[in-house]
Amino acid sequence: MSHTLVASLRSCGRSALVLATVLLLVPSSTYAFQEEEFGPVVRAYLGYLKNEQEVVDDRASRREVSAAYYRHNSNRIRALRQIAVRIARETQNDYLPELEAVSRNELRLLFEQPPRVETLRVGEVVRHTFRFLGVVRSGETFYVFARLDPYEQTEMREGNVKPPGEQASDGRAVTRTRRATVP
């Protein structure tokens, strides 16, 4: 065998091993079991994430992307799935905001002048556009944000919404009610 053929086989073997390892970590039966507990909107989002992972897997299998790109995007998809499931379980509502998961180096994708991640508080609204949902460690650290809908953005800019944790005059916590989607 030639030296280049041996090197190609080794490279393919490593890629196949990485792909097989990732696929073993998240068996497909896990998706079906968890998705049954959610409504159609949340199931659709989880299906979208599953399709995104299949696209990344396909591109990796054809060696169109680097191993680092594959890992990063697989970790991001896993982080988005984790936060979506958490929101759906906590709210018991078939609604998810538009979610964004970015690493520290990617904060400029969302913000012209990125906030200091050390100072972010869960529930804090950043630049009248995103609510910080928290940190998810999924192979690497991702900062997860929910994009405010246009009505929330307008309310925030006009000062009609108090920051999370503030109290109304009767002592109750101030929160904005979510619109429930009807299937």
pLDDT for 11: 52
Structure tokens at 92: 């018991």
Whether 50 shows a pLDDT value over 80: the answer reads: yes
| Whole-number percent of the chain with pLDDT over 90 | 58
> How much is the pTM?
0.68
Half-sphere exposure of 145 (CA within 13 A, CB side): 25
* Residues 6+ away with beta carbon under 8 Å from 69: none
Kindly report, residue by residue over 64-98, the tens digit of the pLDDT.
Answer: 999 999 999 999 999 999 999 999 999 999 999 99
Please state, in angstroms and as integers, the Cα–Cα distance from residue 19 to each residue in 6, 82, 141, following that order. Answer: 20, 20, 21
Does pLDDT of 174 surpass 70?
Answer: no
Tens digit of pLDDT for each residue in 57-73? 999 999 999 999 999 99
Tell me the domain boundaries of the chain: 1-95, 97-183
Which pair of structure tokens corresponds to residue 91? 């709210």
Distances (CA, A) of 154 to 8, 25, 28, 148, 159: 56, 42, 41, 9, 8
Confidence of residue 151 (pLDDT cuts 50, 70, 90): confident
Residue type, 134: G
User: Which of these, 110, 109, 113, 131, lies nearest to 122 by C-alpha position?
Assistant: 131
